Structure 1
């Protein structure tokens, strides 16, 4: 890969991905130590998850603004925010709500950089090289998340959150400087007339309604999707419970690393399931996920390493089921409605994540996190049983074969 622009973008992504993981982790643990409140921990999860959902609406801004400008804006604003946070922390004037507001702003601008990069990369490489470049960026993102998840707990145990903020400020301002000086695009970017921003939101709402109407007409697929949304809500609640359950930042880091390792493994192995009937694959995946999940919870206070292994296996099964659902949607949605259907799914899943994380904080005030985690594992087993006994899923073939024929006029 000799393209210097791509090398620079990849280098900056590596730096900033590490910092993203560190500051989110540090904020969650800082709020836990200061407030010792599950509700506040749930609020942190909500605040850091909402920008991911809002990313769905960045499209018209990315299309109309120069991509380099947006990348510089993302890096520069984040650098300034973390510099402000570091100063406020050092002078002892950083109330929780101000911290959460500034972290929300930083996360929002962080989410702006990812789709901007994705939109810029095709303009910087030959079309034949695009699959390889995309694969490198995706693998780098997943690999960094895995490494950063494990390292975050150790680092937070050694330094305070003020140090994390100072390091973040330096890294983001360095990335701003590197992109400003060395990102040399082979074309001139100009601002476009943003006459279509209003129409974008109007069309977006229209497409969501059309997507909902279309998916609702698909007898079997809508049930598959409903179950997956339920599972996504359960695992998001569990994600919010992990910092409450953890007794040290290292333990929380190990839980997070287990999730990243499992999800990455499940995604890589999901293609091996293509020869099995979809129903069989889902029954086994959720049975394995539920069994390993419960085993992990029961072992968490006794054999922690084995508990992490079971938890990682559970997440591998969940990750594989996510890839299966994506493939199933792509195969079964008609070409006329594929974009609208996938947009609907992204919007629903994006909204479920902050709801689940916030709900975790509230539920943890009512029940023990161990009980809640166990209930999540039991629910996954019930999902496997539902797939096994419900006759509506009898007609499911392999995941690359369509089974729906619903159609509506666009």
Structure 2
């Protein structure tokens, strides 16, 4: 660990990433709350979440593009662009021309900038760290990512209550400016575009090859087990995104902006704790169908009970518990794919899973916001909880899911993919 922290480039990347996460956490909470204040309806928060999540779909295609840019310039450039974009909102407010359309236009562009940041930084790690340091380096990045999110989501909620959303946009701009200044200190040798083009295939060829691999990955996912698993995950992700779309309205009805930040924070903590519990409780020894059905049932019960509890602090606790299963499933799913898919198919299957996951969340956000505008935020969360429980019941009695062994016992031969 000490050797990694003596690596100048790594420390700069880690600090830059942490500052970017601080800015992103503050911004996402402030922007969603501002959309709710300006629009006064869950429809607009659902639309905002839809617009900000759509650029994530592009992340699975960004590899060829990222490889063709000088990474230091790309990192600094995207940070500076966000500084300018985030200032548009408070400047428009100062001139009395701020509308919900302005915020909804800025949000997806800021989100698009962020899609370049994390994969670009991760692509640098093998170039600045020794092979034996990569595990620790990636772990530090993950902790920085999840930890700052959990902490500053809560802080953002408190700042909303004290100084308001507009003031937070100024703070956002400052954090991204500081991040850009840090990243300018990176000592990365410049590689000319001509040299890159001579060594690598064209972006078009790489994207074409990626699409072919994606099709192969989807073919593997047509195995009965993965088909049943992904079928349930589609509905789980739709319900989860729908809940986050109405969370500003739910928080406003049960307390105020500070509670919105706390809901987001406890959800992040729940995911972190859930991921840790996989190894602590040795959950990889439980049969996959039983494990997945059990944890999704916990989520469903928490969501249903949450809508019946008037106390906001109990609701916040239940919301955090509801997202423990997300951490458990995230870790378990990665291990399932890494254990059960042959190495030559691993990349394309992961790409297919990323593509499916990235495409589901925006749809769920738009549906959740629309239903919330017609009914109530409580109704959306209740419906989402019921969907989780239905998926848990189906997974419990599904014959294919019941036959699959524990995660630790999975091999390519389990699915006849070896």
| TM-score class, shorter | over 0.9
Is 1:282 aligned to 2:292, yes or no? yes
Structure 2, unaligned stretches of length 5 or more?
Answer: none
Shift of 1:179: 2.2
2:244 alignment counterpart: 239
Task: Give the CA RMSD over aligned residues.
Answer: 1.8
Structure 1 residue aligned with 2:267: 259
Is the contact made by 2:89 and 2:102 (CA closer than 8 Å) also made in structure 1?
no
SS at match of 1:183: coil
Query: Are 1:161 and 2:165 matched, yes or no?
Result: yes
Q: CA offset at residue 368 of structure 1?
A: 2.2
The Cα of 1:357 is off from its aligned counterpart by 1.0
Shift of 1:132: 0.9
Q: Post-superposition shift, 1:47?
A: 1.6
> Equivalent residue for 2:370?
362
Pairing of 1:295-374 with structure 2 (within 5 A)? 295-299=305-309, 301=310, 303-374=311-382
Q: SS at the partner of 1:65?
A: coil
The reply on whether 1:291 has 2:301 as its aligned counterpart is: yes
Please, which of 219, 231, 253 is the counterpart of residue 213 of structure 1? 219
**Partners in 1 of 2:262 and 2:208 — Cα distance?**
44
Within the candidate set 233, 249, 254, 1:228 is matched to 233
Runs of 4 or more, structure 1, over 4 Å off, are none
Deviations 1:164-223, CA, capped at 9 Å, x for gaps: 22222222223222322x2112x443322275111122222222222222221x122221
Cα separation, 2, equivalents of 1:99 and 1:289: 32
The size of the alignment, in residue pairs, is: 403
Alignment equivalent of 1:33, drawn from 37, 45, 63 = 37
Assess if the C-alpha contact under 8 Å between 2:150 and 2:265 holds in 1: yes
Aligned residues of 1:38 and 1:364 also touching (Cα < 8 A): yes
Deviation at 1:26, TM superposition (A): 0.9
Cα separation, 1, equivalents of 2:40 and 2:268: 26
Partners of 2:87 and 2:375 in 1: CA distance: 39
The 2-side partners of 1:208 and 1:256 are apart by: 33
**Is 1:172 the counterpart of 2:182 in the alignment?**
no
Q: Secondary structure at the match of 2:6?
A: coil
The Cα of 1:326 is off from its aligned counterpart by 2.2
| TM-score (structure 2 length as normaliser) | 0.91
- 1:183 counterpart (182, 186, 191): 186
1:44-123 paired onto structure 2 within 5 Å: 44-123=48-127
Residue by residue, what CA displacement relative to the aligned partner does 1:295-340 show, whole Å, maximum 9, x if unpaired? 22211x2x22222222211210232123222222222223332221
* Equivalent-residue separation in structure 1 for 2:244 and 2:39 (angstroms): 19
Which shows bigger deviation, 55-64 or 202-211?
Answer: 202-211
Tell me if the contact between 1:82 and 1:166 (Cα under 8 Å) persists in the aligned partners: yes
Residue pair 1:90, 1:162 contacting (<8 A) in 2 also: no
The answer (yes or no) to whether the contact 1:221–1:404 under 8 Å persists in 2 is no
Asked whether the equivalents of residues 291 and 381 of structure 1 are also in contact (C-alpha less than 8 Å), the reply is yes
Q: Is the 8 A contact 2:242 2:367 kept in 1?
A: yes
Counterpart CA distance in 2 for 1:31 and 1:83 is 16
* Match of residue 6, structure 2, among 2, 7, 11: 2
Q: What's the secondary structure of 1:246's corresponding residue?
A: helix
Deviation by residue 1:335-384 (Cα, 9 ceiling, x = unmatched): 33222111111001001111111111111123222122112212222222
1:220–1:404 CA contact under 8 A, matched in 2: no
Q: TM-score by structure 1 length?
A: 0.93
Query: Is the 1:55–1:111 contact (alpha carbons within 8 Å) kept by the matching residues of 2?
Result: yes
